[in-house]
Each structure stands twice: as C-alpha cells, then as structure tokens.
Amino acid sequence: MSSSVCYQGFYSKVFVDSDSLVVVYTDIATGGDLPPIRIPVAAVAAIRLYVPTALKLGQLRLFVGVVPVATDQLSTNAATRDPLTVTFDKKAVGDFTALATWLDQSIAYNQSVGTDPTGVPVDLPSTEDTDTARSELETVSTRLAVEKILGPGVREAVHAACVHTGSLFGWKQSLQAFANALTSDEVVELWLPGRFAGGAAILGLTTSRVLIVRSDLDRTKIDAVLRTPQLRAEWIERWNTGLIKIADPTRELKVSGLDKAGGRLFASHVIASPRPAAATEHGSSERDGTDPYTALARLGDLHDAGVLTDTEFEDAKSVLLRKL
C-alpha cells in the first residue's frame, strides 16, 4: 500500500504508510484534532472489522502485541474513546474493508518472517493524557467562541475566567450583557453558562459579588449577591449537569444546567475570600471576605460531603493557603 493514504472514519482519520498506521481522533465537542497515535504495523497481532448497521457505527479494532481471548464489538461510547478502535459509517465501508484486507495480509507476512509483535514498542496515550488534550482543546475552543461573541477588545479576564467546557450556542446575548454589567474595578474570577428563570444565563463570580445575568430578545435580568461572610453556595449534582444554590441571609438564587466540573469549582470558590479589587470612588480599597481559616474549614466540609473532588479540594486549599 502506498504512503499518504487517508481513510476517513467517524471523527477520526487513519493515515497509512509502508510500516505504520497514524490514527488521528477528532474531539466531538470542539472539532479539534487530538495528538496523533502512531502504531507500527509489525506490532498489530490481529484485527477485527465490524460493519455498520442501522443502529451502530462500524468498527475497526486493532490488537497490538498479543491476540486477546475476547474480541467482541465495543459499545459506541467505548469505541469512540478507545485508542485502538476506529469507528466509521456506511459511506466508508469499502475503504475500511480494503484497509482491513491489507492489514490481514501484513499480519500474515510478519508472521511468516518471524516478526514478534510483542517485541515492537507502541506508545499509546493514557486516559489522563487524552483527557488533558481534550481539556486544552476545549479551553481554546471556548476562548475563540467568547472572542467571536464579544470581540477581541473585551477585557482579558472574561476570556480567562471561563470554566465551562462546551458550546456557548444560545448564550450570546447573556454573555454580552454579563460583560456590560461589570464595573471598571471588578475582576472576573470564574463564569459559566447555565439556566436561570427559565432561560439561558451567565453565572459569574467577581471580586465583589456573584452575578447572574439573563438576556433574551429585548429584556435583560441581572441578579447580584455581594460576597460577604454570610454568603453560601450549595452544589447539587444531577445526571449529566448540576444546580447551584447561592444564598445570603435575605434570599436564595438557583442556577441549573451547569457543567459538572465547572459547577463544583464555582461552588468551592464562592466560599473563598475574594481578591482585593482596586479602590472605589468612595475610597475603599478592600472588600468584605471570609476569613481564610474559616474558608479552609468550609472547604473541608465540602470535600467530606463529596461536593469537591480530591483535586478540586487541593487546588482551592492551595489558593487559600497562599493568602495566610
């Protein structure tokens, strides 16, 4: 088979040269390509080809080193996350059948000349490496989406503070209204899109307050709660999203439809002391905030209750310890 041949799979591509396969997966959420995976053909001990059906994508499974006992077809969800499985639709059946035939011939040849696939190194990415790559793609994708909505002139903090990992489709007006609602001395720490009062809204945390901004058509609704020692945040996890309750002694506000990782992080930061902002026109150079020791205790409570993961707890704790 000649070099530079490309087989287009479902959110994936397989490039073939004389002695290797290079598999490039595309992140479904962002449309960006993950780092390529190079697999020497000599390391492939067996393959299995499953043609697509009306309900399931086709699969080309590669087995490196040794032939496993079980070679069943994977679920679609598992297949799209397996670095040794390429999925494809009905339009690509002919191409992947030809690729499978060539691989079977290559495996037979390597066996005939005594090539041991267990002795050929293959550098496969770990789940952690793949998740990191996806996270980096999501960060870039979200930043580009924010810049497209607000323009390159928007303050840097609005770009940097987004903790959402997904599309911003439907939140354009609310995001614009959120940026416009910020005061000149206000620093954005975190923000993410959610649902409030029946519509798309932006939930934001600044150095002085929690902002909930909902804008649609010709109406904009802004709710704000000052960051005082009495402020409380409760994170409630649902099946694939979550809900956060923001409360002070006078009222409680609920924002739903939040990204799980972003929502947990937001809840943990609400109870932390806000960073000092610039002096206001009234001459004040400090904001009211929770004592770091109190905040540490409350972080521990959230961690013990399972609201914060070990990593999120350690990150938030590090922020507070630097303030002591």
Task: Dump pLDDT digits (tens) for 9-37.
Answer: 999 999 998 789 999 998 876 678 889 99
- Determine the pLDDT at residue 14: 95
The more confidently predicted of residues 144 and 195 is 195
Q: Give the DSSP per-residue string, 90-101.
A: GGGHHHHHHHHH
Q: Is the pLDDT of residue 159 over 80?
A: no
Confidence category of residue 41, pLDDT binned at 50, 70, 90: very high
Q: Is the pLDDT of residue 321 over 80?
A: no
CATH of the domain spanning 130-321: 2.30.29.30
Please, are residues 96 and 121 in contact by the beta-carbon 8 Å criterion? Answer: no
Q: Is the pLDDT of residue 68 over 90?
A: no
Confidence category of residue 175, pLDDT binned at 50, 70, 90: confident
Neighbours of 265 (CB within 10 A): 21
**Which has the minimum average pLDDT: 21-30, 83-92, 122-131, 314-323?**
314-323
- Determine the pLDDT at residue 18: 76
Mean pLDDT within 57-70: 85
pLDDT tens per residue across span 77-101 = 888 888 899 999 999 999 999 999 9
The more confidently predicted of residues 212 and 66 is 212
pLDDT tens per residue across span 247-300 = 988 889 999 998 888 888 888 888 665 555 444 343 333 333 455 656 666 667
- Determine the pLDDT at residue 278: 44
* Dihedral, CA of residue 116, residue 82, residue 125 and residue 27, to nearest 10: 140
Q: Is the pLDDT of residue 301 over 60?
A: yes
pTM: 0.53
What is the rounded CA–CA span in Å between residue 32 and residue 134? 9
CA dist 235 → 145, 154, 266, 317 (Å): 27, 30, 9, 18
- Determine the pLDDT at residue 131: 77
CATH of the domain spanning 5-125: 2.30.29
The more confidently predicted of residues 140 and 25 is 25
- Determine the pLDDT at residue 110: 94
Same fold across 5-125 and 130-321: yes
Instruction: State percent of the chain over pLDDT 70.
Output: 73
DSSP state of 33: B
Q: Where are the domains of the chain?
A: 5-125, 130-321
Question: Which stretch, 54-58, 85-89, 124-128, 246-250, has highest mean pLDDT?
Answer: 85-89
**Average pLDDT score over the chain:** 80
Cα Rg for the chain, rounded, in angstroms?
25
Q: Which residue has the tokens 């959110």?
A: 11
